[in-house]
Amino acid sequence: MNLILFTPDEAARPLPVADPRAVHLLTVLRRREGDTFDAGLIDGPRGKGTLVARDHVALTLSFAWGEPPPPLDPITLLVGLPRPQTARKILQEATALGVAAIHFVATEKGEPSYAQSTLWSSGEWRRHALAGAEQAFCTRLPAVSWGRPLAELVAALPPATHQRIALDNYEASVALGQCPLRDDTAVALALGPERGWSAQELAVLRAGDFTLAHLGTRVLRSETAAVAAVALLKAKLGRM
């Protein structure tokens, strides 16, 4: 953890010694009473925490907060719902890269049971987003949803999302790196499921003004494609 994140309620009470953040403070950072560490309030300011006292039950912490970090990058991901282990990687890496939203969409070729995973039903997904934010030294988390149809999310995109790109290995005729972008452009990037978009989904994307683009001749894993595509977009937007 490069930054230890708390909710306002957690920051106002002692931190149990069994909490992974307490374990990290004591065993990895090796903080002792009076030592400071980098902390943040989720979606709020960053600052310094101080280990005031400890006993066998909990750590007593105090905080001095500074300014909140800048807004997230104006990139919305629409990802064909992958297997849970892939979704975990995308949640963490896309959050670390600073995207504003990640929507895991239901698709025709996707496995319906993926939406029933405990990753979603238990709220585990949030832990992976938090890990990505802590890695990136940022307090901000993207908006996350799962299981909604592609057509619903395409229709719900803000009108200001002028640049819309869908990755496709089969019908795309232009490389993602060749898509023109302005520095102030809000981008929606759609990545298909592991078995690709269906003909009907491609029609939905085209009707929603999405340009089909590719990442070259190599076929990448979903999590690799997500990282490569977002990094390329951020570079083109002047945010790297």
Q: What is the pLDDT, as a whole number, of residue 110? A: 86
Specify the DSSP class assigned to residue 157.
Answer: S
pLDDT value of position 170: 87
Backbone angles phi, psi at 57, to 5 degrees: -105, -45
Could you check whether 4-65 and 73-236 share the same CATH topology? Answer: no
Write the pLDDT tens digit of every residue in 42-74: 999 999 999 999 999 999 999 999 988 899 999
Instruction: Dump pLDDT digits (tens) for 68-122.
Output: 889 999 999 999 999 999 999 999 999 999 999 999 999 998 888 999 999 999 9
Q: How far apart are CA 205 and CA 190, in angstroms?
A: 9
- Please, are residues 36 and 59 in contact by the beta-carbon 8 Å criterion? no
What is the structure's pLDDT at 190? 97
Domain at 4-65, CATH from 3.60.15.10, 3.40.47.10, 2.40.240.20, 3.40.50.720: 2.40.240.20
Query: Pseudo-torsion of CA 168, 126, 6, 47, nearest 10°?
Result: -10
Instruction: Report pLDDT for 167.
Output: 95
The residues that bridge with 79 in the sheet, in sequence order, are 104, 191
Q: Residue 238 corresponds to which tokens in the numbers above?
A: 């002047």
Q: What angle do CA 148, 93, 99 make, to 5 degrees?
A: 60
CA 78/CA 141 separation, integer angstroms:
16
Report the alpha-carbon distance of residue 134 to residue 22 in Å, rounded: 15
pLDDT above 70 covers what percent of the chain?
98
Residue 173: pLDDT band by 50, 70, 90 thresholds? confident
pLDDT in tens, 218-233: 889 999 999 999 999 9
Q: What is the pTM of this model?
A: 0.93
Which pLDDT value is given to residue 155? 93
| Range in 89-98, 121-130, 181-190, 192-201 with the lowest mean pLDDT | 181-190
pLDDT (0 to 100) of residue 183: 67
The token duo for 135 is 């890695």
Whole-number average pLDDT of the chain: 93
What is the per-residue pLDDT for 136? 96
pLDDT category of residue 160 using cuts at 50, 70 and 90: confident
CA distances from 197 to 26, 44, 94, 188, 206 (A): 47, 37, 21, 16, 12
pLDDT score, position 239:
77
124-139 average pLDDT score: 97
Note whether 149 and 106 are within 8 A (CB).
Answer: yes
pLDDT tier at 162, thresholds 50, 70, 90: confident
Question: Per 3-state DSSP, what percentage of the chain is helix, strand, and coil (rounded to 5)?
Answer: 35, 30, 40
Q: 3-class DSSP state for residue 218?
A: coil
Kindly state the greatest CA–CA separation across the chain. 63
Domain 73-236, CATH homologous superfamily name and number:
SPOUT methyltransferase, trefoil knot domain (3.40.1280.10)
Listed in sequence order, the residues at least 6 apart from 69 whose beta carbon sits closer than 8 Å to its beta carbon are 46, 138, 139, 140
Span 3-21, mean pLDDT?
A: 97
- Give strand pairing partners of 99: 73
Say how far apart CA 48 and CA 197 lie, in whole Å.
46
Q: What are the residue boundaries of the structural domains of the chain, listed by start?
A: 4-65, 73-236
